[in-house]
Structure 1
Amino acid sequence: MTTITVVVAHAHAPRQVREQILTLPADATVAQAVAACDWPEFPTHCLADLAAQGVLGLWGRKTTPEQVLREGDRVELYRPLRVDPKVARRERFASQGSKRAGLFAQRRAGAKAGY
C-alpha cells in the first residue's frame, strides 16, 4: 500500500499558523486529511459546511472535500473574512483623504498635476 505525505495548515489568529504533517493512503481526500488532524474546531460532520463557506483550500486555491490529494500537497483551512476587502479599502481611502493618498499624492515642487 502506497502512502503520501501532506501538510494541513490553519491560522487560528493572525501570524499564528498551526501545521500538521500527515501520512495518508495514496487515494486520500481533503476531507480525510482534515479528519485525520482531529482538531476539535473542525469536526468531520461539518466539512460540507466548510466547503460551502469557502474556507477549504489546496495550495491557496479553493477546493472541495472530495478533492483527491497528491504527494506534498498543502491543505489549508481559512478563517472567514470579518470585513469585505473592497469596503475596507474604501473606508481607508475616505479616512486618508484624496490629497494624501493615491499615485499622485507626492508631487515635486513646480511639477504639473499628475506628474
Structure 2
Amino acid sequence: MSDIEMIAVEVAYALPEKQKIIALLVKPGTTAIGAVKQSGIIKEFPEIDIETAKMGVFGQALGTKGLAKAPEYRMQPGDRVEIYRPLKADPKEARRRRAEKSKT
C-alpha cells in the first residue's frame, strides 16, 4: 500500500435525459482535468471534449472569480468538478429576441 494519502472527489456531467456523478480517490495535487480523465466519464459520454469543455467546482466556473483554470486547478478533498455542456444559444441573443417579440 502507498504512503500517499488519497483524497475523495467527484466528477459530474448531466444531459437532460441522463446524469452521472462518479466518486473517486485521487492523489493530492490532481488537477480538475486529471480527475475527469481518471473518472472514466468519457466512456459514458464520448461527446465530451475534455480539452475544450467548460468546467466548474460546485457551480463556480473554473478560470473565473479567482479560481484557476481546469488544467491548473488542484482538487481539494470533497470537491466535485462539473463538466458543462455547450450552450445551444447565446443567452444575450435569446433575451434580445424575446424582448423584440414582446414589443409586437
TM-score by length of 2: 0.73
**Which structure 1 residue ranges, 5 or more long, are not aligned?**
99-115
Is this contact kept in 2: 1:58–1:76, CA < 8 A? Answer: yes
Q: 1:59·1:74 contact (CA, 8 Å) conserved in 2? A: yes
Q: Does 1:74 align with 2:80?
A: yes
Cα distance in 2, alignment partners of residues 71 and 15 from structure 1? 29
Count matched residues: 91
CA distance in 2, matches of 1:96, 1:16: 34
Higher relative contact order (CA 8 A, sep 6+): 2
Structure 2 partner of 1:111? none
Larger Rg: 1
Q: Distance in 2 between matches of 1:42 and 1:86?
A: 26
State, as a whole percentage, how many aligned pairs show the same letter.
33
Q: Please report how far the alpha carbon of residue 77 of structure 1 lies from its aligned counterpart in structure 2 after TM superposition.
A: 0.6
Partner residue, 1:21: 23
**Residue 56 of structure 2: aligned partner:** 57
Q: So what's the TM-score if we normalise by structure 1? A: 0.67
Aligned pair partner of 2:6 in 3, 14, 20: 3
Q: What is the CA–CA distance in structure 1 between the aligned matches of 2:71 and 2:32, rounded to whole Å?
A: 5
